[in-house]
Each structure stands twice: as structure tokens, then as C-alpha cells.
Amino acid sequence: MDHNLETYATTRIGSRYFLWGERTYIMGILNVTPDSFSGDGVYLDTETALDQAKKMIAEGADIIDIGGESTRPGAPGITVEEELARVIPVIQRLSSEIDLPISIDTYKFEVAEAAVKAGAAMINDVWGLKRDPRLAALAASSNVPIILTSSQRDEPAVDIISAVIADLRRAIEVALASGVAPGKIIVDPGFGFGKTVAQNLALLRRLDELKVLGKPLLLGTSRKSTIGKVLGDVEPKERLFGTVATTAIGIMNGADIIRVHDVKENAQTAKMTDAVARGFHV
């Protein structure tokens, strides 16, 4: 199954070049929150955060995604000041000690702006420019890629595939109109964001239909509640095998980046799946 598209051959993120279609890239999740749904947050502890990032790099991560506000359903919002206090010291420390690109997981302009100044090389907006479209102008002026996610939390969908495609098309148009280069846009269908279990499973099964957008696809299923429900209401830390199954299916259906908590296991899964889907390389 060849998922190479000439429209997005290469994207530079930080000092690294991502050659889409050659292999699947791994984004390691680094939560600097006290209330991460999966219990893996490293709240206000830059030393622990650095150790965790180095561990993920050793296990095969290609990008470190730092988030200071939980995006789980029902999580309380936090102020810009609190989010800055959580993420900026970690980004400053990591950017000075690791050479992997750092992504900032935020939908707040002020946080993203400070994060890019502190060393973040990509913006990951879980609201797909719905909450603050200024993020697109920031990505353009800073010359960093932006990840646009489709969330249905404000507007539940009936036909999930067409809704996600339409939503991502809207976000892409906003980004392009703000000056973001076409090759610096990555899309995320938003697994778990305002979607039912059936819709999440359909999204994974039909992920290749999103290739019509002509952008690299990021998939974030790691430890999410759909996996827990399918497996019989198991806790987040018991969802590893379910997660790696979604990783393999996602890659076979066109995912270019996998966003995960458990880097080692998913990196191995990606490598094996890539050998089948993209061709084996020693």
C-alpha cells in the first residue's frame, strides 16, 4: 500500500527533515500536568521531564510533544499564566539539551508564541484553529509547521468521515490564508475528540479516505477511552496492547505520525508495520 503523495514530500521540523511516506514517525507525549488522564504527568518538575524525554528519544521518538493542559473530556481549563508556568521552563530546558524537535500542544496564542520563542519547533492545535485562528499567523511568521486537529466536541457529527474532512478543509484554508506554507500543515482526525466509540473505530478503519486532503496524517489513539471500552472498561495504563493494535491499523491505512505515551512498544510496532506497508529497509 503506497501512501506517498508528491504534494507533501518533505517537511522540516526544527533541524530535522521528515520524509513522508518513507516511514512512520513517532511523537512522544510529555504531559506537564497534574491531571493527565493516563496518569503520566510530570507536574512542575523539569528534571523528571528531561529524563522522560531522553528515555523516549532512546526508545525511538522523533518528536516530543509537550502539553500543559489536559485535553481529556471534562478536564477543567487553566489560565494562560498557569499553562506558561508549566510548559516554558520544560521547553527551555529540553531545547537546550536535546536535538529532537519539540512540539507545543496548546490552542492558546500566548502559550504557543512563548513556546516557539523558548524553542518549540511546531504547534499542535487540538481545536484546529477554531478557538484561536491567530495560531496560523504565528506558525507562518515563525516558519514552524502546525498540526490541525478535527474536534467534534462543540458540534457532534452524524457522518463522521465527511464531517472530519470538511472540518480539516476549513482549518487548512484558514492556515493557508494566514500565510502558512502548504508543506507545513499536518492534519489530525482527532480520535476521541467529541466522537462516539463507533465513530472512532470507523475513523480508524477509513483513515485512508483523509488522504484526499493531501497532507501528512497524525494519529493519536494512545490509551484513549475507546480502547478501554472495547477491551472491557480497562484503565488507561492497561490499554497498551489495544493501542499498538490501533497503531498498526493506522499505519496500514495511511498514518504518517503516531502520537503515543509508550514509545518503545509503538516504535517497534511501527517498524514492523512499515516493513509490510512501505517496504522493508535494514
Domains and CATH numbers, the chain: 24-276 (3.20.20.20)
Q: Which residue type does 84 have? A: L
Instruction: Given the residues 23, 86, 130, 224, select the one marked as catalytic.
Output: 224
**Residue 173 clears pLDDT 80, i.e. is over it:** yes
pLDDT grade for 108, boundaries at 50, 70 and 90: very high
List pLDDT tens digits, range 69-94. Answer: 987 777 778 999 999 999 999 999 99
Q: What is the pLDDT of residue 2?
A: 43
**Inter-axis angle of helices 160-177 and 134-142, nearest 10:** 50
224 is known as an active-site residue = yes
- What is the pLDDT confidence band of residue 37, given thresholds at 50, 70 and 90? very low
Question: Cβ distance 262 to 222 under 8 Å?
Answer: yes
Residue 265: per-residue pLDDT = 98
| pLDDT computed for residue 266 by the predictor | 98
- Helix residue spans in the chain (DSSP H): 46-59, 80-97, 109-118, 134-142, 160-177, 197-205, 225-230, 240-252, 263-277
Using CA atoms, how far apart are residues 237 and 193, in angstroms rounded to an integer?
A: 20
Q: What is the pLDDT of residue 280?
A: 75
Q: What is the pLDDT of residue 235?
A: 93
Asked whether residue 38 carries a pLDDT value surpassing 70, the answer given is: no
Amino acid 43: pLDDT: 53
* 245-255 average pLDDT score: 98
Average pLDDT, the chain: 92
What's the pLDDT at 35?
Answer: 53
Q: Is the pLDDT assigned to residue 132 strictly greater than 50?
A: yes
Q: Which pairing describes strands 218-219 and 25-31: parallel, antiparallel, or unpaired? A: unpaired
Q: What is the pLDDT of residue 9?
A: 85
pLDDT at 237: 92
Please tell me the predicted confidence (pLDDT) of residue 74. 75
In the residue annotation, 195 being an active-site residue is answered as no
Of 86, 215, 259, 278, the active-site residue reads 259
Say yes or no to pLDDT of 217 above 80. yes
* R_g of the chain computed on alpha carbons: 17
pLDDT at 234 over 60: yes
Mean pLDDT of 203-228: 97
96-69-135 Cα angle (round to 5): 75
The model's confidence at residue 42, banded by pLDDT at 50, 70 and 90, is low
Residue 41 has pLDDT above 60, yes or no: no
- Average pLDDT estimate for 128-146: 98
CA–CA dist 261, 242 (Å, integer): 13
